[in-house]
Amino acid sequence: MANCLTLKKSNCKNCYKCIRHCPVKAIRFSGNQAHIIGNECILCGQCFVVCPQNAKEIVDETEKVKVLLQSGAPVIASLAPSFIANYDGVGVNSMRKALKKLGFYDVEETAVGATIVKNEYERMIKEDDRDIIISSCCHSINLLIQKHYPFALNYLADVMSPMQAHCQDIKNRYHNAKTVFIGPCVAKKDEAEHYKGIVDAVLTFEELTEWLKAENIELEKEKDNDVFSRARFFPTTGGILKTMELDNSEYTYLALDGVENCIDALKDIENGKIHKCFIEMSACVGSCIGGPVMEKYHRSSTVKDYISISQYAGAKDFEVSQPSCDKLRKNFEFIEKHSQLPSEFEINGILRQMGKFKPSQELNCGSCGYNTCREKAIAIYQGKAEISMCLPFLKDKAESFSDTIVKNTPNGLIVLNEQLEVQQINDAARKIMNIRSSSDVLGDQVIRILDPTVFMRVRDTGRGVRDERVYLAEYKRYVEQTVVYDRDSRLIIGIMRDVTDEEIQRERKENISRQTIEVADKVVDKQMRIVQEIASLLGETAAETKIALAKLKESITDE
């Protein structure tokens, strides 16, 4: 399969929106990046349409077409009939003028090929003995059957698409001509690449618009009034049937759009519930006018676009030179997928890794992109998905981890909303405040259990409080409290560290120190008194000794 869709890796944000909208889950996630699985993708383009980061890109063939224009060969554009819905008020003659300015030799409507194809469908219904016929105009539907429902290959009309029938017709009429299809479809790029020699390049409407802008070419607002054809209904739901002569009463004629509806029909066919039926299948809701590269896709109005087509169409057919059925034959081969299915034991093992131990735990929420947890488990086995893609699993895991921390931390935690109502309280906080159960205070005003002043101040000023030591008189406890306000969640978080034992020890130490100082002071005082008494006694003794010695000296002198 041609690599028509590429991925800008840096833009992928793990939103899983692409896989939620992929009807065949042909997207693999690895390393937090989405990867398209080529042998399963049906190129419906839904991942391109829904990606909020524009991470999916369609390979641009503008330069390829410019090379064709420079080759010297006549390059003729096959313009999809949905162009009238994409370019308001612009007819094929205006498109021809603009494209000739780009260097195209001519422009024709793909509806010419649609007429050829619908003629072959009518012949098949009348002449071939077929039970079920599925239209093969939509390449995405062809890929769906080739890759995912190969049992239906026998029912798929082995006829060229209108794009191929028209481009083949052009090459039959113009010697050495090169053909370029212009339309709203991603899959046509793959079809042109796979069936070589018929369509030389494919441009989307978006690519054409950008090219015209770059060359400063404006499309003239001019409708054509000279040619009308009912084949222009082809890009609408039921448009193929609208062009056909439905005169074989043995057949039921049915038009389906959207891959999911087509899958349901294929399952009914597989189960033998449908017979003698011609089924027109389109991958896009609304058919081609709802194509992924319709420039107005995100703001499109299916009704308005249908009206545009209807007003431009007619009741007659284009005059065509109808080729023989052999010239329109197209072979559809089975395209094998490489993924294997796990056993029931392996599925259950993966489910257990996802935290799904019983069926009641399989939420089947679809947030990962898969419809059921079992589908997700199969995708994990096949290497398409990762266990971490399960958002409820991650949420439960994160909450469990968070709850474990909150429950086992020695610090008391209390969470309030902006109305100062208790939203959460842990065991440590309940112990500090002698609260029997969390349910006793959850939802109540914090004033029931704590002084709200600090919480109000932090809420109103936005300035937190850090390690403020306070005494909770009603609980006879000392705590160091930190209060912060989370503006994003609009929650006030209080953290209380019970420092009662520390405070008691500190007071005890202070008491001991104070008592020690008092004892020391008493000892010092007593010692000072003793010293003074000794000094006094020593002073009296010294005086008496001095007098005695003086008298002794005098008596010796007299002698």
pLDDT, position 298: 44
The amino acid sitting at 294 is M
Amino acid identity, position 10:
S
**Residue 296 in this model has a pLDDT that exceeds 60:** no
Tell me the average pLDDT of the chain: 88
The token pair that represents 151 in the structure block: 């049992």
Q: Are 189 and 293 in contact (CB under 8 A)?
A: no
> Poorest-confidence range of 4-13, 93-102, 144-153, 422-431?
4-13
Q: How far apart are CA 381 and CA 19, in angstroms?
A: 17
What's the whole-number mean pLDDT along residues 404-411? 82
pLDDT tens, 353-390? 887 888 888 878 877 778 888 888 888 888 888 777 77
CB–CB of 301/88 below 8 Å? no
- Residue 5 tokens read as 């869709």
Region 466-483: mean pLDDT is: 92
Instruction: Name the E strands within 153-207.
Output: 178-183, 201-204
Measure the CA–CA gap between 388 and 350, rounded to whole angstroms: 12
Mean pLDDT of 18-26: 90
In this prediction, residue 68 carries a pLDDT of 96
Give the distance, in angstroms, between the CA of residue 22 and the centroid of all CA atoms in the same chain: 12
Q: Kindly report the pTM of this predicted structure.
A: 0.72
Beta bridge partners of 424: 415
Model pLDDT for residues 99-157, shown as the tens digit of each residue: 999 999 999 999 999 999 999 999 999 999 899 999 999 999 999 999 999 999 999 99
pLDDT band at 52 (very low <50, low <70, confident <90, very high): confident
Q: How far, in Å, CA of 312 to CA of 481, rounded? A: 76
What pLDDT is recorded for position 398?
64
- Say how many C-beta atoms besides its own lie within 10 A of residue 320's C-beta: 16
Rg (CA), the chain: 44
Q: Is the pLDDT of residue 300 over 60?
A: no
Mean pLDDT score, 525-550: 77
How far is the C-alpha of 114 from the C-alpha of 183, rounded, in Å?
14
Give pLDDT tens digits for 224-264. Answer: 666 678 899 999 999 999 999 998 999 999 999 999 999 99
Terminal-to-terminal C-alpha distance of the chain? 149
Reported residue count of the chain is: 559
Does the structural domain 341-402 have CATH classification 1.10.15? yes
Q: SS3 of 177, please? A: coil
Full strand arrangement of the beta sheet holding 477-486: 422-425, 412-417, 491-498, 477-486, 465-472
Q: Which residue, 231, 224, 223, is CA-closest to 318?
A: 231
Structure tokens at 503: 């405070």
Q: How confident is the model at residue 559 (pLDDT cuts 50, 70, 90)?
A: low
Choosing among 3.30.450.20, 3.30.470.10, 3.90.79.10, 3.30.1490.20, the CATH entry for 409-498 is 3.30.450.20
Structure tokens at 527: 């010692």
pLDDT in tens, 382-404: 888 877 777 766 666 666 666 77
Q: Is residue 78 pLDDT above 60, yes or no?
A: yes
Two tokens at 413?
């935690």
What are the tens digits of pLDDT across the range 197-220?
A: 999 999 999 999 999 999 999 999
Res 55: pLDDT: 82
68, 180 in Cβ contact below 8 A?
yes
